[in-house]
Chain A
Amino acid sequence: MLDEIEEMLKSAVAEVFQTMLTMEIRAIPFSPDSISDDPHIAGSVGFIGDLTGVVYIYCSAQFARQMTGQILGMAVNEVEGDELINDSMGELANMIVGGLKTKLVDKGHSCVLTIPSIVRGSHFSIEATTSTTRRVLSFRCRDSDSLVVEILIKPAEGKN
């Protein structure tokens, strides 16, 4: 099941990037060293139901700014302040997890989404509790921009 969810996420990420950002993005093997100590932004959206979990998408603050400009048709230097970047990251997470949810519901796993939230900072890591399964997917956009999508998932009682 987790492998299937991983494929669903990859497909949702590619669709959102292609449609909203007109950017090709490709999955690459994850390496913890690929995450720099530069400031990062993470957008997260949870899902609750037959399957319960949370999806984080995170990237460098610089790439998040570039993506915001691309979505809104603005030059990078026109993107002022952090609020708009936070909002765009939250919306990207919402769209990616919305795409995942649609695929899960079609497979019979109903769930509802939470409202997006944002975390900013350097040196942060996401830890999973013992009852939670974790998968980390890494993506490369253009030549050097990286995006990490992390899913923590916990089956509801009585479900597999």
Chain B
Amino acid sequence: MKTDLQDWPERSRELSQLLARAGLGDRAAFARFYEMTSGHLYAVVLRIQRDRASAEDLLQEVYVSVWKAAASFDAARSQPLTWLTSIARNRAIDSLRRQQAQPQTDSLSRDDEDERPDPAEALADEAPGPLALLSRASDARELSSCMERLSAAQRQSVALAFFDGLSHAEVAEQLREPLGTVKSWVRRALMSLKSCLERGVLRDADHPHSEA
């Protein structure tokens, strides 16, 4: 399955179709929708909620609600993959919140008995780190030039927050930087990303490529 950024809109067209059919009660379409998206969604969720059992439950919840909401999905407002990924990420972040509400020793060693690397080790692990993911995503679009204007630590802040679902405090802890500094890095990185993408959109508008 291709997961390139350029595929996002292309895959979305097919997914919108499947969702519309699912909205009419078509189970086979929903099964296909699951087949096409669950690998991506599980990766996104697992990165934030590292406990596999919780991540699986969460994935289940997401698809159950997607089936129920399929009829009301509005393709004019958002692309299905964007919609789906947002739902899953929100659930994953909420599940961290619930977890944190329970007594816990230390966020960096929470899966001792587990094979999963802790967030700090994940950076050295063979799975791409948040920064690698960000730069991979940047390759696909012209984000890199904008992102380059930020320091590595600034880039890493936003990547840790976004991909790994770390809070400002956790990012600060991991990077050993003051909380306020990390907050402003994340904010600046996001705004830079926005203006960069907006320039990209303007450029695309100057050189439109036909779309069926």
* A and B interact physically: no
Residues of B at the A interface (CB closer than 8 Å) are none
